[in-house]
Amino acid sequence: SYARLMNQLLKTDLLILDDWGMQKVTVQQRQDLMEVIEDRHGRGSTLIASQLPTEHWHDYIGSATLADAILDRLLHGAHRLNLKGESLRKAKAQNTESVDPS
């Protein structure tokens, strides 16, 4: 059920949000995200993996008021790792293509 899922998200030690910013956020998703982030604030760790730079997150979330509240909780005291370089998936695919199986 929805309530059980929300409870599990709140209790987990590490919540991983992968591919953050890949799809538009609906009104309901914004509200759910705010609820999860608010309830987890100070209780558990949240890891966000994204190709979207943090300066674009506010626009991605949409609603200015909710975006301010969500980002304040997410980014306050956050540790950021900005990775640069070629895609490892792309490099791996190129290596696979160059191997002659015969």
Concatenating the DSSP letter of every residue in 43-54 gives TSEEEE--SS-G
Average pLDDT score over the chain: 87
How many domains is the chain partitioned into structurally? 1
Mean pLDDT, to the nearest integer, of 29-36? Answer: 92
71 band by pLDDT with thresholds 50, 70 and 90: very high
Task: Please check the confidence at residue 91 and state whether its pLDDT lies above 90.
Answer: no
Domain that holds residue 64: 2-98
The model's pTM: 0.74
The answer to whether 21 and 50 have CB atoms below 8 angstroms apart is yes
Name the residue type at position 79.
Answer: H
CATH of the domain at 52: 3.40.50.300
18-51: b (≥16 Cβ within 10 Å) or e: eebbeeebeeeebebbbebbeebeeeeebebeee
The pLDDT assigned to 100 comes to 61
Q: What is the DSSP letter of 16?
A: E
